[in-house]
């Protein structure tokens, strides 16, 4: 087996930089580019975009691996993280990639890959990796946001999770949350409405997630002074404890059908 075949065996999806690092020790850049061209022409590899390739042009590359390679610092988040964690209610045709790099969205084989900037407070404090973890996917390690960070991030950007009802269905599948991680991440985000949203959520899931009253009291000290909305649906009931206007559909206990 040749060196490039060994490389492809271990890299079902790979970037140009990974190709260079894996095979470039004794080869010039022109030789490596010639190898890429030859393998593309023979159908042994396919191209997602310039600098991003996958093994076997007749195959459909794993969308999560493609997303993870969209940028060198890529972290899969929002609904995509829920999918990989096993908490998504439905599978999306969108893949969300947190990155500091300037990367354009990519459409490939009916999947849209969206680069998303990290929340500004994380970038300011160099905490982009907070609340992330690595999972194995077809022999490669993929970094994703963990369940605590994903919950907070999706409460902040419902458009990246498919809306309030999809988020609700995702939340119903989560067995528990680590309050220390949750609270620490909220401190890093430093956004009062998120303290209110998470407080409301924990109150809703008090029995399922073994939520302690002191957790709720702690979050209630950081809520906004003016009423805020749980979602873009600008109607519902005002919950004084959280100063949060919540749609009626979210007031029924999680797990209960509409």
The confidence score (pLDDT) of residue 256 equals 56
Mean pLDDT, rounded, for 14-21: 94
The confidence score (pLDDT) of residue 60 equals 87
- How many angstroms separate the CA atoms of 253 and 241, rounded? 17
pLDDT for 39 beyond 90:
yes
Domains and CATH numbers, the chain: 3-61 (1.10.10), 64-250 (no CATH)
The confidence score (pLDDT) of residue 27 equals 83
The confidence score (pLDDT) of residue 156 equals 96
The confidence score (pLDDT) of residue 233 equals 75
The pTM of this model reads 0.92
Q: Which of 28, 48, 35 has its CA nearest to residue 2? A: 35
Residues in Cβ contact with 120 at an 8 Å cutoff, skipping those fewer than 6 apart: none
Give pLDDT tens digits for 72-117: 999 999 999 999 999 999 999 999 999 999 999 999 999 999 999 9
Residues in Cβ contact with 217 at an 8 Å cutoff, skipping those fewer than 6 apart: none
The confidence score (pLDDT) of residue 136 equals 95
Could you identify the residue written with the tokens 């991680």?
181
pLDDT for 255 beyond 80:
no
Arithmetic mean of pLDDT over the chain: 92
The confidence score (pLDDT) of residue 152 equals 98
Band the pLDDT of 253: cuts 50, 70, 90. low
Band the pLDDT of 1: cuts 50, 70, 90. low
pLDDT for 160 beyond 80:
yes
Lowest mean pLDDT among 44-48, 55-59, 192-196: 55-59
Query: Each residue of 11-45: b (16+ CB within 10 Å) or e?
Result: bbbbbeebbeebbeeeeeeeebeebbeebeeeeeb
The confidence score (pLDDT) of residue 258 equals 47
pLDDT for 2 beyond 60:
yes
């Amino acid at each position: 087996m040749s060196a490039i075949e060994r490389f492809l065996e271990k890299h079902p999806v790979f970037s140009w930089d990974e190709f260079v690092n894996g095979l470039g020790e004794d080869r010039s850049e022109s030789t490596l580019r010639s190898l890429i061209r030859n393998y593309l022409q023979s159908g042994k590899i396919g191209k997602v975009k310039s600098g991003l390739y996958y093994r076997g042009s007749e195959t459909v590359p794993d969308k999560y691996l493609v997303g993870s390679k969209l940028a060198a610092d890529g972290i899969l988040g929002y609904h995509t993280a829920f999918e990989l964690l096993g908490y998504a209610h439905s599978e999306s045709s969108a893949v969300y990639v947190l990155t500091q790099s300037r990367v354009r969205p990519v459409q490939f084989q009916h999947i849209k890959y969206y680069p998303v900037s990290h929340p500004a407070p994380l970038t300011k404090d160099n905490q982009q990796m907070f609340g992330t973890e690595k999972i194995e996917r077809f022999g490669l390690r993929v970094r994703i946001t963990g369940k605590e960070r994903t919950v907070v991030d999706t409460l902040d950007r419902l458009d990246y999770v498919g809306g309030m009802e999809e988020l609700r269905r995702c939340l119903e599948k989560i067995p528990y949350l680590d309050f220390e991680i949750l609270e620490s991440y909220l401190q890093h985000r430093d956004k009062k409405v998120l303290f209110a949203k998470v407080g409301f959520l924990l109150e809703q899931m008090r029995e399922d997630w073994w939520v302690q009253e002191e957790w709720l009291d702690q979050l209630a000290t950081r809520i906004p002074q003016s009423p805020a909305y749980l979602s873009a649906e600008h109607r519902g009931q005002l919950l004084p404890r959280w100063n949060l206007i919540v749609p009626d559909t979210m007031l029924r206990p999680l797990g209960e059908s509409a």
